[in-house]
Amino acid sequence: MSAVAGTPRRNQPTAAAAAAVAARTVPELLDWRCALHPERVAIEVHGVDQLTFAAWQAGARAVAATLHADGIAAGDRVGLVFGARDWTGYAVAYCGVLLAGAVAVPLSDRLAPSQLAYALRHCDARLVIHGPLAAGVTAAGPPTPPGVAVRTVADLVADGSSSVGSGSVGSGSAAEVRPDDLAQILYTSGTTGQPKGVGASHANLVAGAPTQARRLALAHSQRFLHAFPIGTNAGQTMLFNALTAKATASTMARFTPARFARLVAAPGTGTVFLVPSMAIELLDSGALRGRDTSGVVLIGSTAAALPPAVAARLAATFPAATIVNYYSSTEAAPAQTVMIYDPGRRAAVGRAVDGQLRIADEQGSPLPPGSVGQVWLRCAHPRAYYRDEGANRATFQDGWVRMGDLGRLDADGYLYLADRHQDMIKSGAFKISTLEVEAALHEHPAVAEAAVLAVPHPVLGAAVAAVVVPRPDLTGTDLTLASVRAFLADRLADHQLPARLVLTEALPRNEAGKVLKRQLTTLFGEHRPVDDHDSIWRVP
């Protein structure tokens, strides 16, 4: 059942509602969208719940009224701990917190207690709001630091509904919200260390939002499908797509290839958003076999680099779809590069929207096309790390955001990533891109997933090591270090070939789908080669 019940039906959009409106804050964006399409379903969790724009607005107003009555002040941080089953309740809580002038801190219910406690302590949260079905949540709510109050979104809506009028927010229940006010703190996935809180203003979050009804995004679809978790940048992008797209945001309580495939082939699904690991699992599962995918016209991949071989498989599986790779980060959003799959530019990750992209040296000076250097994206309303001025100085400069990646631009402005700065392997006199080696490994017919990292070498300093997940339908295929090196010999230089190989059933990933390479390094210290002539280890 929806988090908001009994919402009165609204009339059709008025001429004023359809007029051009430039939303400056997230509550203004929701109000505008509700005026346009009050009874349209904004978000649906397949088989669980759905939320109309009218119910979204009414619920947010009720939450804001309760927060105001409970003493939550403008700028206070409020943790939102929700699971995939309760996207509708999360959306209501998120906009209610922002309408009250407070700061939303989205957090997945799948976080370990220590991870959740760290984020809540770091942002000094005053309150945690959670859904009724969050994993590990007892009657007392999720584990929180001492002194942090805990409420359910249903209770907040119920308590606030009586004070909310049908046409206004209610006397004193909403704070004055300004475009430059901090709206959310999103914690990074922590692939290289303790997660950092990335703060975004209202102006940042509504940047690029449509101002006219006829310019709503994804108009070619009745629904867009995703399975991104709450608490990630990809998940937040889907939330704002729900506010700005003509299509309904559709998701599911739990991702499985079979469930996802059924929704992909359902009538009206015109757009599908994936992360590369999810795309690989879906393609390898066989769940799409025999299904009609002709209704899908757009496949969007985000959160990690899409291997060219996987992009080619998606193009073959969805012949009517445009395959698009989006390159951004939690720190840089909404700035991004966009790449429509092009077999002639297999390794490119696209060109920047509005050309706000540069390659620079370590001092930040721009480098000419073809030079490898630091990748920077520019954002009109930049984000910043919360309570970390040292990291801010290293990452954010005059609207530019250091991506932490090495790359180059070609003469046409297309970006090619060399590697993550910390992942680049320095072996003897060579610098080796792990992304390039991984892309080549993905072309092997028996390789489902691959991660490449450096391991110590007594002479070269470092050598190339590969961790490979074999495709489940090709388990009988011979995968040895010698056979893999022979396959790669025509694709890579000798110094790029793996010197070590581990086969495993799965790669460790964070909530955003990124591989945790720090965890993989332990495999090479804990296991020994099968024999002296074949440095391959099998890890369950």
CA–CA dist 111, 22 (Å, integer) = 36
| Model pLDDT, residue 76 | 97
Reference 453, options 381, 496, 367, 517; nearest CA is: 517
Q: pLDDT above 70 covers what percent of the chain?
A: 87
Neighbours of 269 (CB within 10 A): 22
| Last residue in a domain, options 206, 226, 253 | 206
Neighbours of 40 (CB within 10 A): 14
Length of the chain: 540
Under the banding of pLDDT at 50, 70 and 90, the label for residue 135 is very low
Strands 415-420 and 400-409: antiparallel
| Inside any domain, residue 89 | yes
The answer to whether residue 97 scores a pLDDT higher than 90 is yes
Q: How far is CA 519 from CA 226, 426, 515, 516, in A?
A: 27, 20, 9, 6
Most confident stretch, 50-64, 397-411, 494-508: 50-64
* 446-488 tens-digit pLDDT: 999 999 988 888 777 788 999 999 987 765 567 889 899 999 9
* 409-437 tens-digit pLDDT: 999 999 998 877 777 787 876 778 888 88
* CATH code of the domain covering residue 313: 3.40.50.12780
Reference 102, options 92, 90, 91, 94; nearest CA is: 94
If asked whether residues 315 and 391 sit together in one domain, one would say yes
* 344-361 tens-digit pLDDT: 998 899 999 876 999 999
If asked whether residues 392 and 262 sit together in one domain, one would say yes
| Last residue in a domain, options 206, 230, 246 | 206
If asked whether residues 411 and 429 sit together in one domain, one would say no
- Residues of the domain holding 295: 213-420
Please state the domain count of the chain: 3
Reference 309, options 448, 450, 488, 439; nearest CA is: 439
If asked whether residues 129 and 201 sit together in one domain, one would say yes
